[in-house]
Amino acid sequence: MVLPFDIVEYQKRLKQTKEQMESRGIEVLLITDPANMNYLSGYDAWSFYVHQMLVILIDEPQPLWIGRYQDANGAKVTTWIYDENVIAYPDYYVHSKEHHPMEFIADILKQIGQGCRNIGMEMDHYYFTGRASEILKKSLPDAHFMDATLLVNEVRMVKSDQEIEYMKTAAKIADSAMKMGVESIFPGVRECDTAAEISYALIKGTPEYGGEYPAIVPLLPTGDQTSIPHLTWSDRPFVEGHAVIIELAGCYKRYHVPLARTVSIGQPNEKMKQVAPVVLEGIQTVLNFAKPGVTCGELEEVWRKTIKKYGYEKEARLGYSVGLNYPPDWGEHTASIRKGDPTILKPNMTFHLIPALWFDTDGIEISETFRVTESGAECFTTYPQELLIRDHLDLNGRIS
């Protein structure tokens, strides 16, 4: 199997990670976030429902991969790690009340002389449990444990040129999926049918590049549920006069480019007509202001001032750092475009800007994923940035 990046790039990432480890006094880093495992080793499989780990030793050139026996060959195939550094635990550790994979991992660490060192753990993410933490600490009583939750995530924020190219491909997939989704919407069509069209397009990809499963399924709140973000779909038919929010992400080599649009089935109501231009003006204001040296908090400030002129406010953040990830989230969990965030923009940082506005019974989402360039910001997708209207449909479901 061909790795998605040159080994030199993986080694550069490992070097940057070790520099961060050294600055925090961490000698052993236990990576359990599958995105961070992928970033540092290339490992790519749907095996994150069981305990697995990438171990970074500050004074060793190669990481260790430790995971389930039946997944070990996958680690040998998808990573740049030497086969002897792939260590597997037997299946009786899987979902057992008597045995836990962290006991096995602790034994390995003791065997290789790492049981008395400063050990960093990713304490706050979806794939590392409280029980896992307790067992590691109990099994390694002479180690000093430290919180290293976002250490690798922060290294990931500035993308390489190759990562940007993968995101550009993901953007083409996102554009294609949005087009198919929007064109499938008309009265009487079920929400699930549109979700199916979107999912098909996301996986089919383009003639040149096949797509992958995104970290989040298509989101499709409809009608009065557009006031509720993060809803998926039902089997209800679309209704004339309702609005539909589509939020999706193209994914390529595990790199995501999210995209959201709002669709009006028939002519939009007066409120939607009033709000949409405000959202669009705010988006353009942020994109025009974004450049290296500006902070995420300053991006939020220019948005806030823009919409305040029209009497609107937004409680939630406007966006977040985005890129490589696995379910259940495509965000990187580091920088957020919100009030007071001190993160300074640098070239090749990438963000999903989603300044949605939600009200009591409706809402609007129009988003762009952009990268910071040397002098400004550049959107990845090309889908029309507007409130979309599905009106005067002919029998084939096309806009006439």
Q: Could you report the per-residue pLDDT of 256-274, keeping only the tens digit for each?
A: 999 999 999 999 999 999 9
Q: What is the model's pLDDT at position 391? A: 81
Q: Could you report the per-residue pLDDT of 101-160, keeping only the tens digit for each?
A: 999 999 999 999 999 999 999 999 999 999 999 999 999 999 999 999 999 999 999 999
Ordered structural domains, the chain, with CATH: 7-156 (3.40.350.10), 161-390 (3.90.230.10)
Q: What is the model's pLDDT at position 392? A: 54
Cα(123)–Cα(44) distance, rounded to whole angstroms?
22
395-to-64, 156, 191, 392, 398 alpha-carbon distances in Å:
59, 48, 18, 10, 8
Against a cut of 0.75, is the pTM above it?
yes
Cα(343)–Cα(335) distance, rounded to whole angstroms?
6
Stretches where the chain sits below pLDDT 50 are 393-400
Q: Minimal CA–CA distance to 363: which of 226, 244, 248, 224?
A: 226
Q: Please state whether the peptide bond connecting residue 328 to the residue before it is cis, i.e. omega within 30 degrees of 0.
A: yes
- CA angle 73-163-351, nearest 5°? 120
In the chain, which ranges are E strands? 28-31, 53-57, 64-68, 86-89, 118-121, 144-147, 243-252, 255-265, 319-322, 331-337, 350-353, 357-358, 363-364, 368-372, 377-379, 388-390
Residue 27: both structure tokens together: 């000698």
Q: Minimal CA–CA distance to 145: which of 123, 130, 127?
A: 123
Chain-centroid distance, C-alpha 161? 18
Identify whether the C-beta of residue 116 lies closer than 8 Å to the C-beta of residue 143.
Answer: yes
Residue entry with tokens 């399924």: 217
Helix (H) or strand (E) holding 133: helix 130-139
